[in-house]
Structure 1
Amino acid sequence: MNVRARPFIPSAFAAVIGCFAFASAQADEVQVAVAANFTAPIQAIATDFEKDTGHKLIAAYGATGQFYTQIKNGAPFEVFLAADDSTPEKLEKDGDIVPGSRFTYAIGTLALWSAKDGYIDGTDKALTGNQFKHLSIANPKAAPYGLAATQVLAKLGLTDKVKDKIVEGQNITQAFQFVSTGNAELGFVALSQIYKDGKVSSGSAWIVPQAMHDPIRQDAVILKKGANNPAAKALAEYLKGPKATAIIQSYGYQL
């Protein structure tokens, strides 16, 4: 009788293989719609998230209002990190999210920024002096940071004075690009775009006091399409944890 020999696998090695197979089986991808202002933080968080959980985060970046339209039209997003709280609230009322999944992951800060060192002296003087040719803001109808910018202009009595100087980006990333490329001398951006580890990383800026505009509460939700995806739930929990919150704060957000 012929008997085929079975290869010997040491028990410890077999355990490693078993753990690897289990981890691979448990790893999932999560499709995330991310407000443009949160691009840098989520990229940093994604690295730790994948390392710590095995799940992979696949992000798309854009304006909150545009994402709302895409989600309502069936876009395949499973988690939504908005730049406001009103858009996730609308999705919640419409029954488009997993019940109880909405929470505030960050409170944003608006900044007036110039790519030139010393152009802004840390106050609103460069803005109220009105000696510039172009002022960049994000589309206030689609981007909460753009709406906040219009509220600041109104508070300073500048709405009519600067209306012909405004260049409008589709989202906060484009508003930032107008300034960084020199197409606008200054513009309203998210502090997170120019801030790292406690300081403005380039150019010059005025950090706008929170009292000058409505709070920029940024809410996250698990969308209906992510209801059965373990990676979606894992990401929502991870954003509340110490590693993620430390990264979020390092970019100038409040919690």
Structure 2
Amino acid sequence: MMIRASRLAPLLAVFALGSAQADEVQVAVAANFTAPIQAIAADFEKDTGHKLVAAYGATGQFYTQIKNGAPFEVFLSADDTTPQKLEAEGATVKGSRFTYAVGTLALWSAKEGYVDANGDVLKQNQFKHLSIANPKAAPYGLAATQVLAKEGLTEQVKDKLVEGQNITQAYQFVSTGNAELGFVALSQIYKDGKVTSGSAWIVPASMHDPIKQDAVILNKGKDSAAAKALVDYLKGPKAAAVIKSYGYEL
């Protein structure tokens, strides 16, 4: 059947409008949030038509990159202080910052039964290597040092520490056996209510400063429909369900 040009034109216009509205959003994502954002990204693209392009790393490193002109439009930090700092420096879209997750720290070993449910393995101090993320760049690393201090173990374990640039590297040291155990983000080892491998102590939140993770639209994303759509999506029920399934609080 032949479609008249007069009928075809509106259809083409609608198609073109839909294509123009779909866009990519460049996102700097704290390493601990890698698995959740990968799960969220597929639904985000399906539901909005926008594509999420993510880079993963340590929050402190992202701060430096953003200040040096990196092309990120949205920043999902592992803390709340770094986005606040960027906000104070005029590097973000006013009013866009919000807490998208509250992180949980875990002491983990790739070995079944190695870490007990109360973390006594830490106090027994029989291990050779303890992995943590760089506390100057990664909030989970800072939280780990606070736990060690609270347990009175800072001096006892300082020569056993293996430091990763970010929480992903800290996890890798343990998963590959280069460290018997380490402090990781619960989200790296947890899904749908249970630890997925090895053994772990879920560290009580009272043992370290809250790991409030804030998101913010950066200046490069101020005119981006995709950036705004992502921030709105992260506040919605679908994303919330995914975030909670990885052991985060909201």
In the superposition, relative to structure 1, how do residues 101 and 130 fare at CA in structure 2: closer, same or farther (>3 Å)?
A: same
Asked if residue 133 in structure 1 is aligned to residue 139 in structure 2, the reply is no
What is the one-letter code of the residue matched to 1:87?
Answer: T
Q: Which residue of 1 aligns with 2:212?
A: 217
Paired residue total = 249
Alignment RMSD: 1.5
TM-score by length of 1: 0.94
1:162 paired residue number = 157
Name the TM-score, length of structure 2 as normaliser.
Answer: 0.96
Q: Answer with 1 or 2: which has the greater Rg.
A: 1
Unmatched tracts of structure 2, length 5 or more: none
1:94 partner amino acid: E
Give the direction of change, closer, same or farther, for the CA distance of 1:14–1:170 in structure 2 (3 Å limit).
Answer: same
- SS of 1:136's partner is strand
How much does 1:18 deviate?
4.8
Determine the C-alpha separation between the residues in 2 that align with 1:218 and 1:179: 24
Alignment of 1:139-158 (within 5 A): 139-158=134-153
How far 1:24 sits from its partner (Å)? 1.1
Cα distance change, pair 160–227 in 1 and its aligned pair in 2 (3 A) = same
Percent sequence identity over aligned pairs:
79
* Structure 1 partner of 2:31: 36
Alpha-carbon distance between aligned partners in 2 of 1:195 and 1:165, rounded to the nearest angstrom: 26
1:13, distance to aligned residue in structure 2 (A): 7.9
More displaced, 221-230 or 117-126?
A: 117-126
5 Å-filtered alignment, 1:1-255, equals 7-9=2-4, 18-255=13-250
**Residue 27 of structure 2 aligns to a residue in which SS?**
strand
Partner in structure 2 of residue 3 of structure 1: none
Q: AA paired with 1:201?
A: T
Q: Which amino acid is 2:231 matched to?
A: A
